[in-house]
Chain A
Amino acid sequence: MAGKRRGIYSIAPNNGWNDQQLTKNCGIVPYLFHKRYGYRAVMVGTRMQAEYPSLERYVKGVEMDFLPDAEWETECRYLQEHYQDMDVLVLHGLFPFYFPIVHRYRQLRPDGKVYLELDPNSYYEDTLEWTHPAFLRFLQECDVIGASCHRMQKCLGQKWPCVVEYLPNGFYNFDQLDMAVDFGRKEKVILTVGRIGSAQKRNEELLEAFAKIYVSLPDWTVRLIGKIEPDFMQWFKDFCLRYPRIGRQIEMTGPIFEKKQLLAEYKRAKIFALTSVFEGGTPNVVAEALYSGCYMITSDIDAADDVIDEGRCGSKYERGNIDVLADILYQVCCDENCMLQGGKRALTYGKEEYDFEKIIQRLYWLLFKEVE
């Protein structure tokens, strides 16, 4: 295979990829291998939507190979046809679906590299039958296993008979935007980004907490960005009836796909809040908020200490404890110095730990034991 262009193939864990995933870690890793190291980058899975605008707009050069279905026999057939081009195989998550695929890949390409990217959460990982021979074999067949938060990296490393690396979901500046943050121009905004109203994101918790203090913080606004779940609108209507005039301090923008516009939202906000019930590792929004110098407030998800740099750029609260969240929000909102120092640390910390350019170089070394 000397002289031939190397290939990195990213296999979808279930049906296929959606456009949003192309600009998250799933797509960024193959994209950066393409951009930095000249790899041919291919995302493999069934077609989930008619168009993939990110292919042209953000991850130019990444290709997509669409499969007729997501059955593992189809995947194995694809493997058989393309294994000679697949120098690196990227997998996302611990799914038995991957087991026969990786095993077959190993037989066909004993020289190939397998990167298993995990966005683990402790609840899911605890249910795994990790001592099953097929599971153990799968772990052995991966060259690099990465967890996206320290706590899970440590926990899985203590449990599984393999090395688990720390490879967070970083930030990549697709449009080479000016990332300088003018703290003087930040506004009294508590921002959250995600699927608004989903059971996982628990945005109600943020709003309920804000409801306890909004009267004392008349200049503050909670801004929710993201696609809104239908049920949430009804809940929000009832919520506004319970708290008169609170609606004036809450804004819902809907989804923002344009990165420049989204980044402007982050830069504008003094505080970023994450009230999720659980998350797989560090959600992508965390890196975006850190890079934008936001003071971070998070529920105690597995990655909480990573999100707040162990308290140096934020605060955490016990999930479900609305009183404590309200308390934290109030204290932080009233403390300009706290927000400023926390925001500055967030910026520095983000660049140290969440720069995808750095993460990719680490990953390259871990796979090939050399610096390109």
Chain B
Amino acid sequence: MAEQAREYFRYYGETTDGSRKLLLDTLDFYSNHSALPMHIVEENGEAVDFVLDREIKKLLHSLETAVSDISLRQGYQMVNLMLAAFCLRKYKPLKLLHLGGRAGAGLTSFCQLLPKFHPDNRMYWLTPTVREQRTDRICMMMPFEELLLPQDAFDIIVLDDTDECLLPSMKEQLWLSLRPEGQLILLSRRREMQQVFSGKGAETYLAGEGWTVSQSTISAAEHEAMAADTWDGAVKTIQQEAIERIQLVQREVTVEGADIDALLQLADEAEQFVLLIYASLPSLEVKYLANEWKRALLDYRLGWGKLDKIQQRGNALLIELQIA
């Protein structure tokens, strides 16, 4: 195909450094692993329907009536192209989160296209206050100051700052709610939001009138590091430290000539670790069990305690801590 004709199927965005980057190629068969074909050939072999491109052009055209502001429209167009490109990558049910936005019109056409890539694809629209209800997506309302998102839940998140409701404090939750190799797309004209929500290696595109669209991917390694850096991650680490100390004491206390004073210090540390994370553990019993176990060990050290009591209490504590 002549290069010019080929360009018909390519959609670009202009980055902040002035370069032009390909957002979507609707005829790159190798990039399409979705259920939606890029083209179909009529039975008689004469006509070709460029299905995907037709849908994309229809989608971009619909934005001309849906979004009156030209710059904003350009921003939404880029977002839609990025979403489409993502949906081609793999044939699997995707969960997309659209967060914020004055109106849902910017992604309405895409919601209609979404199930064609995979029938189980879902779009969720989360807003801080009640917006218009839609049937083409799952609408939810939650004040952004109290945002609570499940971890590892979404494949792609669109942060729609057209209503300027986004808060920097949402960053960690948003990143963690993305699955590893998930994407965060931000449409905003606020510099602060652009700085906060653009990840490492983000590509930022100009939409006009200060609007930008930035696209970031969170790698599996980054995701893991971020999860470990949270309070929940720290709790897991401390919990593991406590378990290891208890297991060590349980093993060593039966050894002839064991240094019980040293084991007592370990037991004391384990108890302090449990205290540190107690509020985050579902168990009500674990703190008491840790203390009872430590006391059994102390009694043994002082000369009147029994080894089997230490073992019993230690085992009960481990069970409680490991299921906590």
The segment from A62-70, A150-158, A330-338 that touches chain B is A150-158
Contact flags A161-175 to B (C-beta < 8 A → 1, else 0): 111111000000000
- Interface residue count on the A side (C-beta < 8 Å): 18
Identify 14 new A-B residue pairs, CB closer than 8 A, beyond the known A358-B302, A369-B264: A157-B287, A161-B278, A161-B279, A163-B275, A163-B291, A165-B291, A166-B295, A358-B299, A361-B302, A362-B299, A362-B302, A365-B264, A370-B261, A371-B301
- Bound: A161/B275 CA distance, A: 7
Contact flags B287-324 to A (C-beta < 8 A → 1, else 0): 11001000100110110100000000000000000000
Q: Which of B265, B287, B288, B295 contacts A369 (CB 8 A)?
A: B265
- Bound: A68/B139 CA distance, A: 71
CB neighbours (8 Å) of A369 from chain B are: 264-265, 268
CB neighbours (8 Å) of B264 from chain A are: 365, 369
CB neighbours (8 Å) of B304 from chain A are: 352, 358
Question: What secondary structure prevails in chain B residues at the interface with A?
Answer: helix
B196 to chain A, nearest CB (A): 32
CB neighbours (8 Å) of A162 from chain B are: 275
The answer to the question of B148 belonging to the interface, with a C-beta cut-off of 8 Å to chain A, is no
The answer to the question of B40 belonging to the interface, with a C-beta cut-off of 8 Å to chain A, is no
A125 to chain B, nearest CB (A): 16
CB neighbours (8 Å) of A161 from chain B are: 275, 278-279
Q: Which of B287, B288, B302 contacts A365 (CB 8 A)?
A: B302
CB neighbours (8 Å) of B271 from chain A are: 163
The answer to the question of B147 belonging to the interface, with a C-beta cut-off of 8 Å to chain A, is no
The total of Cβ contacts below 8 Å across the A-B interface reads 43
Interface residues of A in 161-213 (CB under 8 A from B): 161-166
Chain B minimum-CB-distance residue to A352: B304
- Bound: A242/B319 CA distance, A: 58
The answer to the question of B284 belonging to the interface, with a C-beta cut-off of 8 Å to chain A, is yes
CB neighbours (8 Å) of B261 from chain A are: 370-371
Q: Which of B279, B291, B298, B301 contacts A157 (CB 8 A)?
A: B291
CB neighbours (8 Å) of A370 from chain B are: 261
Contact flags B258-288 to A (C-beta < 8 A → 1, else 0): 0001001100100110010011000010011
Most chain A CB inside 10 Å of its own CB: which residue of B271, B288, B304: B288
- Bound: A246/B5 CA distance, A: 116
CB neighbours (8 Å) of A157 from chain B are: 287-288, 291
Known: A163-B271, A166-B295, A370-B261. A158 touches B287 (CB 8 A): yes
- Bound: A153/B295 CA distance, A: 13
- Bound: A358/B302 CA distance, A: 8
Interface residues of B in 179-197 (CB under 8 A from A): none
A347 to chain B, nearest CB (A): 16
In the complex, 24 of the A-B residue pairs with CB atoms within 8 angstroms, ordered by the A residue number, are A153-B288, A153-B291, A154-B288, A157-B287, A157-B291, A158-B288, A161-B279, A163-B271, A163-B275, A163-B287, A163-B291, A165-B291, A166-B295, A352-B304, A358-B299, A358-B302, A361-B302, A362-B295, A362-B298, A365-B264, A365-B298, A369-B265, A369-B268, A370-B261
Chain B minimum-CB-distance residue to A361: B302
CB neighbours (8 Å) of A164 from chain B are: 291
- Bound: A352/B299 CA distance, A: 10
CB neighbours (8 Å) of A166 from chain B are: 291, 295
Question: What are the nearest 9 A-B pairs in CB distance?
Answer: A154-B288, A157-B287, A361-B302, A158-B284, A157-B288, A163-B275, A365-B298, A362-B298, A163-B271
CB neighbours (8 Å) of B272 from chain A are: 163
Chain B minimum-CB-distance residue to A165: B291
B273 to chain A, nearest CB (A): 11
CB neighbours (8 Å) of B279 from chain A are: 161
CB neighbours (8 Å) of A362 from chain B are: 295, 298-299, 302
- Bound: A159/B265 CA distance, A: 25
- Bound: A158/B275 CA distance, A: 10
- Bound: A365/B299 CA distance, A: 10
- Bound: A361/B303 CA distance, A: 11
CB neighbours (8 Å) of B291 from chain A are: 153, 157, 163-166
